[in-house]
Structure formats: C-alpha cells, structure tokens
A = this chain, B = another copy of it.
Amino acid sequence: MVAPVPPAASIFDRNSFSFLSLKLHSLHALSPSDIQVLEDLPTTERTLDKDKNLITEGQMQWSAFLIKEGMAMRYRMMPDGGRQILSLLIPGDLCDIHGSLTQGVSHSISTITQLRIAAIPRSSIAALCEQHPNIQAALCLDALQEEAILRERIVSLGRRDARGRISHLLCELFWRYEAIGLTASSVFQIPLTQTELGDILGLTQVHVNRVLRVLREQRLIKVENRKLQICNVNGLQDIAEVSREYLGFRET
C-alpha cells in the first residue's frame, strides 16, 4: 500500500544523507550540490538525557538547533499540573530558527528520549538561504509545514473524537518518519508513553489506552515494545478524515 521508501528520496542513497536533507528534499527538490552544502554545515553536537528541559544559553542563543536523534516536545504546563504537548520534534526538525525561544515565549521544550542535537548558528542559515535558493524555498516550505501541523492539531482537538485524534496522530508521525527514511515496512519507533499521547491529544491516559486497544483489535495497528506497525494506513486515514497532503510532501 505504502511504499517503504519515499519516492522523494529515491534518487539519492538515503543512508548517506542527514535527516534534514531528506526532509527538505521531500518538501522541495534539491540538487546534489544543495544536499552537499547541507551535509557540510558546520555544527557542534550535544547530547541530552531523557526528560531534561532544553534551555538555550550562551552560544546557543545565536543558534538554531537541529534534532539529530531522539524525540523532544514543546509543551505548556497548566497551573493545575496538567500538561499540553504542543508539538513533537523528531530527527531532521529545526527548532528555534527565528529565536522565538529567547523572546518571552510561554512554553518550554524538553526531551522525551535521550537526544542528540546540533547547534547551527543562525548566521549560517541566513547565508545558506542567500546562496542556495532551493534550500531557502525548502526551509520556507518546512516552516509552512510546521504551521500546517499546528492547524491540523487544532482540527483534531476541536472536531475529532478520541479515535480520530489518535488515528490522525499516528498517521502524521508515520508520514513524517517516512519522509526521513525512518520507517521500514510500515514500522517505526514511538518512544511516547500513553500518558504523553494523552497530553498531545487532550485525552486521559486511560482513554488513550482503551482506544489503542480497539485500533489493535481492528488490526489497524500493532504495537510491540516501542515499535508501532501501521497495518492499514487507509483505515486510519478514513477514521481521522485526513489526507497526507497537508504535510506538503511532494510526490505521487
């Protein structure tokens, strides 16, 4: 049903390119030289433990950062202890590209798994954009995708029931992981607990559990120690009433 290798990446040897290149390339066609420039970006890497808050201090002030491995989230704590997860950051995602974290922003970012990130000076990104219009276009589409994801989350929370919300989220994650080549025969890693799923979707952990059981029973998904298999994307899409297009990935 779903090709395990996203066509957008197929002309390259996906294994030799970074997740950022793969994602941008599946948003906007990049030339081999564009890709090379991306691969050569000078970065300083850093590793963070699980469940740590990500603070941008010192040198990081002037850098955006790129997720290289693991998962992080933007979230907001409520006075009563409730938590709303606003978005998930996965490999290839850029964060704080316009310095929004340093402005008085009302949410935090923290790691969900151990995380490997690379700091990229915002000046390098600006230079990149000036010299490589394809990369600029791709980054622009990437920003639009991020917005589209936010809007789609609003649609989920406002108009879909629990089954729809969960189905939609699973589809979204699947498609995003697919674009960066981290799926294999519709299987990918989800490090999220059911509590975290609930905090993304505005549901309780208990209810998430029950709905997941139903989805399993209907053979739409399989879950096995942190690995999720999407057995029937179309089925999930139908439940969520969502189409892959909103992510803006080009192809087929």
The chain A residues found within 8 Å of chain B, CB to CB, are 74, 76, 78-80, 82-84, 86, 98, 100, 103-107, 140-141, 144, 147-148, 150-155, 157-159, 199-202, 241, 243, 245-246, 248
Contacts and interface: CB of A to CB of B under 8 A. Distances in A.
A86 B86 CA distance: 15
A86 B158 CA distance: 9
Contacts of A241: 78-80
B148 A151 contact: no
A207 to B, nearest CB: 13
Contacts of A153: 154
A150 B148 contact: no
Given A78-B241, A98-B140, A202-B159, A154 B86 contact: yes
Contact of A107 (B79, B86, B104, B151): B151
A175 to B, nearest CB: 14
Nearest to A85: B158
B248 A104 contact: yes
